[in-house]
């Protein structure tokens, strides 16, 4: 499964308005819920509960908040770029600017893991992160992701 199969430019927020972790999670959950018809409170609860177990800040200034919600009909991905680094409690202790939120129903668990892994592999490359961070519009972010997947 390609990330570009899940993500459309309307699922990207550039720049995020929020300036802290809770705000970013709320902003992304709102976008995901509105794009999928899911329940905002349930989506946010699922992501926050997962975050309380272990930070989804994977390092390199990237976080992949995720969770499972029965109100989201199929696996969904939304992304955001923060203009300023956000304190996130990432595993490397560094703040985060790139966010990839994944939420789906319990039945999408296999796809969920594949998407998590795909994002983690792509963002290991400094040039991919730099291009995503340089995106000034959702369309530019989307295109950078498409290009990264084609390499």
> How far is residue 62 from each of residues 29, 70, 105, 142, measured CA to CA in Å?
17, 26, 24, 16
Q: Compute how many other C-beta atoms are within 10 angstroms of the C-beta atom of residue 96.
A: 25
Half-sphere exposure of 145 (CA within 13 A, CB side): 27
Query: Shortest CA distance to 31 belongs to which of 57, 4, 7, 54?
Result: 7
Catalytically active residues, by annotation? 66
């Amino acid at each position: 499964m390609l990330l570009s199969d899940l993500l459309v430019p309307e699922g990207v927020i550039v720049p995020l308005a929020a300036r802290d972790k809770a705000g970013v999670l709320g902003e992304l959950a709102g976008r995901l819920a509105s794009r999928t018809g899911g329940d905002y409170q349930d989506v946010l609860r699922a992501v926050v509960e997962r975050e309380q177990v272990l930070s989804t800040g994977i390092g390199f200034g990237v976080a992949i908040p995720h969770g499972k919600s029965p109100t989201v009909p199929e696996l969904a991905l939304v992304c955001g770029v923060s203009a300023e680094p956000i304190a996130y409690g990432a595993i490397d202790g560094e703040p985060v600017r790139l966010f990839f939120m994944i939420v789906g129903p319990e039945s999408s668990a296999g796809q969920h893991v594949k998407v998590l892994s795909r994002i983690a592999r792509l963002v290991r490359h400094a040039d991919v992160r730099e291009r995503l961070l340089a995106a000034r519009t959702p369309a530019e972010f989307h295109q950078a992701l498409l290009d990264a997947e084609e390499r």
